[in-house]
Chains A and B, each alone.
Chain A
Amino acid sequence: MIRVELRKLARRPRTWAALVLIDLLPTVVAVLLAVTHIGPRPGQGPAFLSAVLANGALFSVAALAIVLPLFLPVAVAVIAAESIAGEAQIGTLRYLLIRPVSRLRLLVAKQIAVFAFVLVSVILVAGTGFLVGSAILGHDASTPATSIVSVSGSTLSSTQIAIRTVLAVGYVGLSMLGVAALAILLSTMTDSPLSAALGSLAFLVGSSLLLTLDAARAIKPYLPTRYWLSFIDIFRDPILWRNVERGLLLQLVYVAVFLGAAWANFSSKDVTS
């Protein structure tokens, strides 16, 4: 069943459109930077962007930072919201269930397919970022091409950078799982994928908004987007694990709660679509 769901996802034009769009934005940013050489001043704009003019290889990380706040979660929410509601909307859900596919198997297969999409999109963004960055962004003569300055100011070797980029890719991917799980939960509640996608986005927007509010300090550590940008800490020297660990734990709790609720709802639901 998992293979079937992956095949379905891979054969949907929408999947590829989403991947292309996610990749397009960082590419456009890279081209603009390369053409104009106007980078944001350090400390402003998306993380790492100020550094990529000096070292194009770092653009894979910058690309992640560019798509992380909005593009990536939107794509993930749209794809995950399709999972059950999409089948319900076109009527194929009933035919799957009377095949029979057990409801648990269907839900798990959908989750795995969505998680696979998250993983592929994150890797693709980082990969494209690396290639585009290396190809068109400069190598600053003042730093050796094989090393790079970490966020903390010390120098990292390219091996260290490679390892840390892989870690960052993994962290960003896991950060998206909370959104994915919420969209899947909403997807079991409605027959409209659009409502499920918008519902999960509303949750994210709400979370981001509360993060800017001082009065919300007490609940901030529990907001799903709180630790998203903590992947930057992976590029400190030494790696600052504290927020990364908290971010991972938080995402896992969200995933467990949302998927548990999705199962509770779906297992006893009347399928009338």
Chain B
Amino acid sequence: MTGAGKSTVISTNGLTKRFGSVAAVDHVDLNVREGDIYGFLGANGSGKTTTVRMLLGLVLATSGQIDVLGERMPANARSVLPHVGALVEGPAAYVHLSARRNLSLLDASGPNSKRPDRSARVDDALEQVGLGGVGRKHVRAFSLGMRQRLGLAAALLNGPRLLVLDEPTNGLDPQGIHEIRQLLQELSRRGTTIFLSSHLLSEVEVLCTRIGVLDRGRLVLEDEIAHLRAPTGRTFVRTSDPALAVRVLDGRVAEQRHDELVVSGGDPALINAQLVSAGVRVSELAAERHSLEDIILAHTRAGSDRVGGPT
């Protein structure tokens, strides 16, 4: 996927938020394009949530510009936000009311929400997140996972063009996570742009098409996952005859750890043929790719909730 011809859904320019003398978000230039499933990664305290809140007009930026769906925020919140669904720092609901009543109150709060199809909209949203059967139950009786689904339903109520989700699978069991992932992929296929803020690399890895990495308030990386995870040009080999393999490959072994070799250059298929014909027993062989974890660790420093002395 390339970015050519796709319009920009979120773009920030020099976005900065200071709390006193601390810059929680420091000159961040985000660029999220239409159709992206954008993984917004960063350690706890790196400024993810503050950035998300600024995108939605909850927190006001100290300096910098934000454009969402082609309009300046927060000045145009009234025309932008009806097309945005969001889940920010966990779901919230009136626990003494039913799930349906919660969504219906939320729907009635928004501008230009038409009353006649409200009930259909609410049912539809509950159905999408798998809460169709418990709409009349009080939220007080909901599990964490069910509340998370209700929060998602609230985000989907508008039929949004952009979904901003902060840790959407928090509190869900593996089945629930899988289900929500499928839902997000389905929404993405239907043209919804998804901005997914998370610290779960695995989740981002399977779902996202692009990532942005925030480290102590700065955007240190923004790229396509496919590009980041492209083969490095080296080949990973696991063999039970490492000494023999090294001899056969003749100086092309870049790294060796016990029975694992990293071979530089060349076509993996060719290397495999070479090894096998020389009688080396190969148990694993693949083009080397960086894991998302390696990439992110290479771009960031120690966890930002570690508070050390001056460095």
Residues of A with Cβ closer than 8 Å to B? 1, 3-4, 7-8, 11-13, 90-92, 94-102, 268, 270-272
In the assembled complex, the CB of A52 is this many whole angstroms from the nearest CB of chain B, namely 38
CA distance A271 to B105 in the complex (A): 21
In the assembled complex, the CB of B101 is this many whole angstroms from the nearest CB of chain A, namely 8
**Chain B residues near A101 (CB, 8 Å)?**
109-111
Q: Does B43 contact A (CB under 8 A)?
A: no
Q: Does B108 contact A (CB under 8 A)?
A: yes
9 A-B pairs within 8 Å (CB atoms) are namely A3-B108, A8-B105, A94-B58, A98-B57, A99-B82, A99-B109, A100-B77, A102-B78, A271-B53
Q: Given A13-B96, A270-B58, A270-B60, are A98 and B84 neighbors across the interface (CB < 8 Å)?
A: yes
Q: Which 4 A-B pairs have the closest CB atoms?
A: A91-B92, A100-B81, A99-B110, A271-B58
Say whether B111 contacts A100, CB under 8 Å: yes
Indicate the size class of the contact surface on chain B: 20 to 34
Q: Does B93 contact A (CB under 8 A)?
A: yes
Say whether B108 contacts A4, CB under 8 Å: yes
CA distance A205 to B109 in the complex (A): 36
Say whether B88 contacts A94, CB under 8 Å: yes
Q: Which of A3, A4, A12, A98 has the most CB of B within 10 A?
A: A98
Say whether B92 contacts A92, CB under 8 Å: yes
Q: Given A100-B78, A100-B82, are A92 and B90 neighbors across the interface (CB < 8 Å)?
A: no
Q: Does B97 contact A (CB under 8 A)?
A: yes
Say whether B78 contacts A98, CB under 8 Å: no
**Chain B residues near A90 (CB, 8 Å)?**
92-95
- Closest B residue to A106 by CB, please name it: B109
Q: Which single member of A91, A95, A100, A272 contacts B57 (CB below 8 Å)?
A: A100
**Chain B residues near A91 (CB, 8 Å)?**
89-92
CA distance A101 to B107 in the complex (A): 11
Say whether B90 contacts A99, CB under 8 Å: no
- Closest B residue to A96 by CB, please name it: B109
Q: Which of B53, B58, B90, B95 has the most CB of A within 10 A?
A: B58
**Chain A residues near B9 (CB, 8 Å)?**
none
**Chain A residues near B278 (CB, 8 Å)?**
none
